Structure 1
């Protein structure tokens, strides 16, 4: 595989320039800069809130210094509370070129867009890098499911689990997530944990998710899930759980935490404390962003009902579980796991296909969502406490 070596020692599989707005008031200008740049490797990200949030600040630092990012343009209105100087220092400390554009000091929309386009050109020149050899044990891969139906837990999800086992056997770090969609699986996951203490942390994380959703009067179960043949959150959870494969669980992390090495990690995306900011994730892309903030070079996205989204920064590989859905949305899918239902392939064969596609994507091959220009991005308010030493037993022991 080929990657891009960064000054912090990590390697990326893309060389993206991010244009990051720091408040919704700067969103239009940032989007216009990306549009005018007319480059698949210039991506728009941002945080819409005007009030400060430690989670959002941490996420933006992790995203702007992600291995797939070569440089960053920060777009500020000028009066928001987001600490643009601190973000710029963090990006600079990672060895990446960074520039800051303040709209209130740059002459408004037209002048700021023109200045931003020139800044992107400078950043692309400064971020130019020759590809470097990259091995599987340097790769971080995430997975989520969206638009799940009764076929998801039979085809696409267990096929991703097979791929995860192959990646982990080769030293890669793999992350599965959404404790709110793993209700009822806590005992099974605890038994797979590297230590009893980690198992207890996993149980507590799922119990927290259950309390959080109960307080909101809502679980992670949509009408489309029921229309697709799923009957309960527990049934949906078992299908989602299949994405994790059969490897031991090496750790429990939260958004922005990096896996310390190869292995399987559970990402806890449900905020800590009492519910304050509404639903934990308002859409699938919010979860993808959190996986990326943990260092995911790419994300394996399984869907039964169908989803057409991609993501900024890291490629999304779309794996369709339902053969009927694939026939309708083939132009948005990378893998037809529905062949398993129709006898056209085995779980192992599709798992191997996904594994080979991961390697091809990491070597520069564009996924379907990338080629179509999908660069969705969502970042909202949340609150998390730091993880304890029991969550990463290997790191604690080292």
Structure 2
């Protein structure tokens, strides 16, 4: 009797083909390796930056190579007190002075903190602006705290349309340019002091005028400029080693404290590190730590803003923080055309990005800075 042929179960053939199918699928879904980095991108990062060197080099490179982050001119990354990445665009270098634009506001905020610590000013008393001291003038109720937190209530329009009607443009470049503080201080109230938050470059010039008045009774422009400049140099810039910084003054001798200071990227990083260390440098407490805490604490009318300093928290109406990837505890100095100093104490991190990106197009730049921050772990609580 002839033996019946052996039949393989019908599912054997598909099983035999399975490894090939899996391999084929793996080949199709395997991501392409990223393109090699340019030599300049690699050399911008130190050998042992504390995170993966290539990842940091790629994150920094994104700020220089992506069209949406143009034009980046300088990036400095400081971790645990040392520069771990530094790169410049064509035509710029470590000795180039970069304009602060509104990053200067945070410097002015620290200046006011020094004067408060000296007992020359008081945070919750009405400010000594002569034009507001006439009987019955409601502006006489404005406090230093309210000015610092952008809650003065003074009439103001920042970055309006048309641009030449914006109050900060008029103050800086048009009818107010020769006596900026007087121009800003002449504005009436549009809200009760303290009740409304409104970003205002003019408010910071008022603070700079108050600082000058706290140091000298002279109205001579040269004397006002000399006294305030000497105070800034001796109490802040020299101890920080910010040798490159050049503040600008108007014709009345008032510091243009809301927008015009010039310094190298490294010196802007030094200022960020000073803030990260709560007002201390090389063991010396230049301004009380509590003042830096005040500047970086949300004010009552805007959870995303402290006192002359931005916080990494959503602005009213926004869902995302300004720098996704950075901790909520981070804060920043922000300036016109995309100047940023991001400070993250929880990570021991300061990131400086300087350049020229049109206002309204900063989101890709902030996202790229956030990607740099996301590479660095938070420090363990002690």
TM-score (norm 1): 0.24
Q: TM-score under structure 2 normalisation?
A: 0.25
Quick check: which has more Rg, 1 or 2? 2
